[in-house]
Structures are given as C-alpha cells and as structure tokens.
Structure 1
C-alpha cells in the first residue's frame, strides 16, 4: 500500500530523515513511535500531501489508496447542534440526498443518459463506503465504544474524549484503505482509552497510528515503525517483543562498544609512540608504520557501533522546591461546588498535606481542570492554601505557559535567565540542542512543546505543583524521566492524569470524582478498581514485574555487569511470553 525508499528530508534548522525506508501492507495495524521532535507528524504530512514537500528518495502510494485522518489537535465545536448519529453519518446522508435529488431530476429531465451516469457514480461511492448498512454499522461502533447512549445527544454536549472517539468512528465508517491517526489517545480517560483499544482491534483495514501510550502499544499493533536520530527501523510483531529486542540489542551493543573503546585506547597509545619515534627518526619505514597504524584506527572508529535506536538520550527533568516545610496541611477544600449548564461538583471536601502526591481522576468533563484552575487562582472562599506554600500550575493548554511567537531563547530570557550559555546549558538537559535554540516555539511538535513547558515550569521552584495531564504528547522516554522527577520532588503535588502507569508509579493516593462528589481512595484499592473495570486480570502485576526487570537490567548495564544483564533479559523474555 505504501513504500518509502531511502527518503531524506531536512528543515532549515535540522535534518529529519537520512535515507529511511519502510513498507505498509494491507491490513496491518502499525504503531509509529519515536522521540518527540523526531519527525513523525511531518512524515505523516508528507504521506498525506507529498507534493508540498521537497524530499530525496522514493515515496510510492497505491494510486487508488483512499486515506482517512484523525488529528491530534481536533477541537470540539460547542456551537454544533448536530446529533452524534448525524455527525458520524454526515457523508452517508449527503450521498443519500444526492442520489434522491438525481432521481427527482430524472423524472422531468430529457437528458437521462447523463443523469444515469451521475446516479451510478453516486451509487458506486455509496456502496464503496458500506452505505447499505451504514445505520447498523454506526450502532455497532457506538456500542463497541460504549457510546450507544449518546447516539441522539448533541455533539456540542460531548466531552473532549468522547468527541475524539466519535471522530475515530466517523473515519472508520468511511472505509478508507488506510487510516492515519496522530496521538488519538491524548486526554482520554480510562474508559475511553479502552473504547479506543476496542475500536482499533475490531478494525479490519490498515492503520498507521502515532502514539506514546503504553497501554495501546501493548495491546493493539502487529507492526512497529520506530523513527529515531534521523533513522528508521521496522519490526513485524508486537511492541512488547520489539521493546525486548531493543533491550537485548542494548546489552550486546554496550558490551561490544566497551571492547571497541578499549582497543581504540590501546591503539591511540601505540600511535602516539610511533608518532614520537617517526618525528625523531627520518627512516621511511617509521612513517609507513605510523600510517598503517592510523589506518587501523580509522577502521576501528568506522566499525564502532552506532545505535540510534538503543542509545536514546532521556531528558533530565528536575522538579525542585525552593524550600521544604515541615509536614502540614498545604491545601484545604471545604464545601466547594461548581456548575456550568449542569452541576459538576457539589459540596466537596478534601485536604492535601505538604508532602502528599495526589492524583485527581474522573471521566472526561467532570470538572477536574476547573477545580485545578480554581485552586491556582486561590480566590474562592471554599479553597484555603497554607501561607507558606508557593503554588505553580502546569496547564494542558501549552500556549498558557509558552509564547508560541517567541524563540526558545527569548522564552527563557523572559523566564529570568541572564545569558545565552546559561539557557543553552539548561535546555540541553531537556533534549534541546543549540541548533534549535532560535527556533520559534510554534514550530515545535506537541511533545517538544510539553517538554519545553516542563523545563520552564521547573524554574519556579514552587513547593506545591498543580499538574494538568503532564504526560500528554510526551514520548515514553520523557514520561519515564518525569516519573523520576515526581518521585524525587519534596513538595506537594495535585495532578490530573489518565495515565495508569504514571499514577501507580508516582502517586500516594487518589481523589476520585464520581456522581458530583470526591472520595479518597488508597492506591491498592484504586488498582483493584482499575483491574475490575478496565484491564485484563493480572496484566498490571506482570507489567510491574516487567518494569522492575527492565530497571535492574539498566542498573546492571550502568555497572557494566553484562552477565547479570543477560540473565535478567532471559527472565524478562519468559515473562513477556506469558502475556
């Protein structure tokens, strides 16, 4: 269906691809992964509209291939008075009206042949997208996504997560040859994430999906395309098996690299000795010996292992409080209520201590972000923040903290940095090289913007953090770095998130919004609740064991204990086969 062969492409600021190649065949469900800013969305844009781009290499797409697309930046139109069913069925209804109009015209027209041709064309299009059964198919998809009750609801009344699922359903029902989705999982709650998983797995056509969501990666794909450091590799199989192969490659690569490095060091010492001898001795044979040894060194350098897919720099995220305070109540909420058209929260009460790490969860549209904003504004009579607490807020809307018309350099001068070198050194920890320091923030990828937002946010050194979906758009490496930063943070955190792995790895307890109220849940109880409602039995326990083994392998590699790393990788392989 799609063939990319030795494709290269560059922005003015940086090279994106260096002779990358891959194929996508009929029926494959392909996950497209890679670090933020590696060029995934740009490659999708090239596939969607190749004539806009000047690239080297070959891009072949079946000329009959119809492509559907679900954007990561779709916005819900609150003025839309269309029902969910009408919105999904829009193309079918339009064709029905067109066919009916042609039939009406044929009753009075003398130009029957032309109208018959138009009628047959419209009918062919209608049949090609499954028009005969479209009502039944819509109902099946809505049921699969657990949205059948919303069939007659206005689109404007949907939550953001529900609207994203509706868009996925709408594209699937058009029956394109290929559907491309760019991070369709962003901001989905647990229930909607499972619904997306069900939709993906039930789809018989070809899918290419950019995602960093670990749950979807583990459950939905039979092919992986990984773009990293300007290079690309493809893997036919599950993501969990691909990840294991990367870890095994890393063990082998580092072991070989150490051997190569030792040999290069020995050779350097020998070259220095030969150069000294040749300098003080005019015999031609001395110079020839030196040249021969230099050529050996060049061969060693050339063969030194290059590993763009296993040697990926993880950003270093620091969340530091300016001053720690003794454990006390940092935040107290008493009889708080909020309503828009309907009551979202009613007479809720909770408190957070100065060292608590708390996650606020609930279905999309239940008032989580509204509550977080109210706490940050601190002008509501029901909200009381300790006078010794400094609060910082990370919004899920990136342009609230970042000025997208600024360059990265300008943004950090505004944040209080004094010199170019200071800014360059600081943002390099977050994966931004000097080549992008003068790049406009608006031109960055969603993941790069979120990472940059974290970098700017971290400067404040507040001792209470309000985080609204902090992992959205972040690649898996940045997610893990943020997990480490939150674990090491000494202040209080109140976070809105739907990332189960992130919650379990970082948080002390859960505040669950349900039926307009909030109740406190311990982590063990929360885990059981999530198992019962959203995940396969024992899946998460195995995931935790898997994560523990991966961590121990990384520690063994840091100590260059390759024998231990290999033993642990064999244990990990057995565990993965049990999934």
Structure 2
C-alpha cells in the first residue's frame, strides 16, 4: 500500500503539495490528473525518491520494485533488443551473479546463479523483449538495430519498452502515449490492462485513461483527492462535488452574516452582551469553507478562411515516398471543401509520408497532385515543436510570421492575439526553450490560427496538450469552416472531429468503411492473422524422415458417408460438451464477479469508512485476479473447441 500523509512539497517558492494525503491499494490502476504545471511529475519524483518532501510521510513498501520511463534520450550502439533487456533488473542481476561465479570458478555459486536465471525467466527474456518492441511498432529488421540509428520519437519508444520489461510492483508512466500512433496505443492499452502490479499513469488521453484506470487521483491547488472510477466517472463525481461544495459555502456565508448581524446589533447592550459574546466564539470556532475556484477554461477559434476552393486537392495516380522507395502508390482521390478526414493506418504504412507530400515538404514521386486555386494549408507536423527557435520568444515568432508569411499585423495586435493563447505580460518575450511542451504546442497552434488557412493538415497535434487544451482544439476544429485532414492517436479527438476515414495500408490509400471501434477490431484481426501465419510457418518445418516400413497401413474407405459423418458429429458433441459446460459456468461466475466489483467501487466512490477501505481494496484485487484467470481459461476453452471442430 502507498500512503501519503500530510505531505508538503515545495519547488522553489512554489508549493506543489500542501498537506496532501492519499492512500493507494496494491494492484490498483490509478490515473493521476490535473492541469499542466499542477505538480504531477513532481509527485512521481517524490515516489521514486528523486525529491524529498518538506513535511509529512511517504510510505511505499520497501520490497517493491519501481519502473518508470526514463526521460533522457539514450545514446548507445547496443542493439534495440539488448537495450530493452537491460530494463529487466532481476535478469541483469542474475547474469552478473553467473559471471561472478564463473570468474571465481565457484561451482556451487554457478548452480545457484543458473537456478536464479531460470526463476527470472532468462530463457524466454529475449522473445519477451522483442514482443514488446513489435507491439510498440518496431519491425523485425529493426529489433537488433543500434539504438543510435533511431530518431528521437523511436528512442522514447525504446525507453517505454525498457520500462515495461522490468517486473515491477509499482509502475509510473508519465505521458506514455506521446510518440505512439494509434495501433501502438491500442497494443499498449491491452498490455497495461493485463499488468497486475500497481500502476499510476499521467495522461491527457481520455479514452486511454477510461480503458485502463479504475481510480482517479486529482491534483489541484496542492491537494490530492481520490475518486473511485475512471476519468469519465471522475468528471461526473467532481462536478457533483463542486455543486455541493458551492452550496455548502453559500449556506455557511448566510449563517456567518446572520451571526455577525446579531453581534453588531447587540454587542453594546448589557442585557444581550453575553449572547453576543457566545456568537463571537461560535464564529471563531467555525471551520470556514472555501468557495469553489474552478480554473478558467481555455478556448480559441480558427479564423474564417478568406476563400474555400472546391475541390481543394486532387490526386491523380500520385505516388509518395523517399528517393527510390515508394511507400504509397496510385492515390486517386479528391479532397472537398468542408470535409473532415481522419487518416488511419499502422505504423510505417505511410501516413506521415502522405501528409508531408500534401504539405509540399517533399515532392510526389509519380503522378500528379493539384491544389485548388487559393488553397492555404495550415500544417502541424509531428516535429513542429523541434523547429521553433528556442532562443526567441513567442512575440518574435509571431512578428516574423506576420512579416514573412502573413497576414501582416502590428506588434500590439500580435500581443493581444498571443494573450488569447495564454501568453500574457512578460511571457511573450520568454525564450521558447524554457517553455513547457504544452506551452510550445499552444504557440504552434497560435501560429497556425494567425495564417488563416482553409485546409488544416494536422499530424499528431495533441502531443503535450493537456485535456483542457485538447477539448478546446476539438471545439475549434468543429467550428472551423474549412477542411481538416487529421492524423492522431487521440481517439476522442478523431471521434469528435472526423466524419470519414482514409486507411493507409499495403501501399494504397482507400476509404475505411467503419468507425474507430471497427478500426480497432481490424487491427486486432490483422494481429491475429500475423500470429497465425507465424505459427503456420513454424509448423511447416519438415518432419524427421521415417522408414517406409514404419508407415501405417491406409484406413479402409467408409461404406456409408452419412453414417460416418453422423458418428463424427456425435463424437465431436461428446468431446466438446464438458468444455462448453465449463464455459457456461465461467460466464456465470464472471457476471457475478463483475456485479460485485461494481458494488464495491460504488461503495468506495460514496466514501467508505477508513477501516473498511483496506479490505475493499483487497477484495477488488482478488476479484480482478479471478476475472483475469477466468478470461484466460474461457479463451483457452474456446480455442480447444475450435481445434476439435
């Protein structure tokens, strides 16, 4: 169990945590939420002892191993798989023990080391590491490529794989979905759902949090408040809590005014002095409630485009790629005014290549791409934050943009415009290099809006944006009168903005007939097909040769095909009957467990007694373990029935 008791933490003059308390049970999956700059990463640093609290107590079981994603960019010539394997600390320790035993020629120590290697899963560790890498989007030929050969985003995926490789009782993930595309995000989501340790996630992806977390810890104004349920449940509960808090505050203010009025009226009268004094003491003893201070919502809007060419783009047998390497070919489509297109596709299939070709940052390899007259593209690239000038301030960026790209604007007009994106006062001159990732992303959005485009080409625009800013972006895109083409791993944004999808797969671009749920099913089917193909390939290896005399004699032909067929069906029914019966029993048990879990979570959400919380946490963990075991057995039975059939 993790216990934070009356914690105060300061970073410079800022109080990040102010007498904050929280209790987290073993095996819980917790979403840590709060606005940018609230102190979520500082809390992670506190739990891993990189920071020390100024006051209070932090209790984390001493035997717990911790795993988190390192934020530094790895620089090594080691292969990708070997680098990820180093994240398995028990495996690294067991290998070191074996090397020491061999160096000392100590047979007893070598035997112990080999036993330890077996205990930590050394024999399948490499395949487990490669499964993590492939789940995060690495191709087979990249598994042993040097770490230094990968770009920054891919190296951060390596850091994530390394964190997942460590068998830890406590896993801390700070924005793990940044640098991931949708297929890798779906895989990570499924992996974390199976993780049986205590998990704390900082994320601004609503659907990701909803799918994984069962507890939400809200950090606001230095206080920690625990809510039972995922992010959507948290929003509902917090809204209700704020309404009740505001009502209680208003009621108390009425009571205070009533007492003060009595005191002011009768404090000078001898006959009422005693009563007035008792009310003064009542006021002093009263625990004052604070008013609800909700953080101001951030919102912005895209300017009305000067014109709307229709069609905006026309592809005529266009091919795109790099040099002689064609990635997508024979694109024959058009983009019309007002369309909202989401671009889907697995990693490496060519989504960003297509977007870069449309943006004009790289030429088409073949065919033709025609732009409508008056087309103005607002392009947000994945690497857009990297091309900001770190030694300049937001105002300098805007002045140069207005001068070189347009439309023109006076300095005061540009200052006022930046204020809409929360760049106020001296902040307009603060060096971009010292801004947070979210602030940099807001600056890029401001620069896009200023250009007044009629086609928005957005490649992963939500990286580094908090939930409030993502919601503001969604609203602005829905009100935008031009055309939107969007690549994103944020499913909430795709659902709210896009009304049609293009799928980039197998070298072609085609319409995807379905929604995001259908796309996730499609990804799962693709993964299963790949697994079956690999299994079939391994099974197709030639069997050992046998002597001809050892071959069994052919069975006699059946005289009555219908009789044989009926006997086969009867035999199959006999074989599968106990399996189906067990599946029915598991279904009933899982339904009962799910009902019980919902009841326990509801009790926790309503505020259970402190003495009962620990037992409820243990029961939730036991239910989750049983459900996971039942699901695994249900799938196993289904596979057995399918094999028999």
* Unaligned ranges ≥5, structure 1: 278-282, 537-579
CA change 1:461–1:306 in 2 (3 A) is same
Counterpart Cα distance in 2 of 1:162 and 1:329? 36
1:303 aligns to 2:258 (yes or no): no
**Which of these two proteins has the greater Rg computed from alpha carbons?**
2
SS in 2 for 1:212: coil
Higher relative CO (Cα under 8 Å, sequence separation at least 6) belongs to: 1
After superposition, residues 152-231 of structure 1 pair within 5 angstroms as 154=145, 167-231=159-223
Counterpart Cα distance in 1 of 2:223 and 2:9? 11
After superposition, residues 77-88 of structure 1 pair within 5 angstroms as 82=79, 84=81, 86-88=82-84
Shift of 1:515: 0.9
1:530 aligns to 2:519 (yes or no): yes
Counterpart Cα distance in 2 of 1:458 and 1:48? 41
Counterpart Cα distance in 1 of 2:360 and 2:135? 40
1:241 aligns to 2:238 (yes or no): no
Counterpart Cα distance in 2 of 1:298 and 1:329? 71
Shift of 1:294: 12
Tell me the alpha carbon deviations over residues 48-88 of structure 1, each in whole angstroms, 9 at most, x when there is no partner: 3435x6744444444444322124x67698x967264x444
RMSD, matched Cα: 4.7
CA change 1:130–1:225 in 2 (3 A) is farther
SS in 1 for 2:478: helix
Per the alignment, residue 310 of structure 2 pairs with 328
Select 1:491's aligned residue among 472, 479, 482: 482
After superposition, residues 220-299 of structure 1 pair within 5 angstroms as 220-253=212-245
Per the alignment, residue 89 of structure 1 pairs with 85
TM value normalised by structure 1? 0.71
Shift of 1:518: 0.7
How many pairs were matched up? Answer: 509
After superposition, residues 561-576 of structure 1 pair within 5 angstroms as none
TM value normalised by structure 2? 0.65
Per the alignment, residue 17 of structure 1 pairs with 17
Select 1:518's aligned residue among 484, 506, 509: 509
When structure 1 is superposed on structure 2, of 53-62 and 21-30 the one drifting more is 53-62
Counterpart Cα distance in 1 of 2:143 and 2:427? 48
SS in 1 for 2:486: strand
Select 1:360's aligned residue among 343, 349, 365: 343
CA change 1:392–1:145 in 2 (3 A) is closer
Counterpart Cα distance in 1 of 2:279 and 2:103? 87
**Contact 2:395 / 2:414 at 8 angstroms: preserved in 1?**
no
1:458 aligns to 2:444 (yes or no): no
1:70 aligns to 2:69 (yes or no): yes
Tell me the alpha carbon deviations over residues 145-203 of structure 1, each in whole angstroms, 9 at most, x when there is no partner: 79896796647799998876665454333212322111112243333222111211111
**Contact 2:398 / 2:414 at 8 angstroms: preserved in 1?**
no
Shift of 1:530: 2.4
After superposition, residues 393-408 of structure 1 pair within 5 angstroms as 393-400=379-386, 402-408=388-394
**Contact 2:98 / 2:113 at 8 angstroms: preserved in 1?**
no
Per the alignment, residue 35 of structure 1 pairs with 35
* Unaligned ranges ≥5, structure 2: 403-408, 526-645
CA change 1:398–1:324 in 2 (3 A) is closer
Per the alignment, residue 578 of structure 2 pairs with none
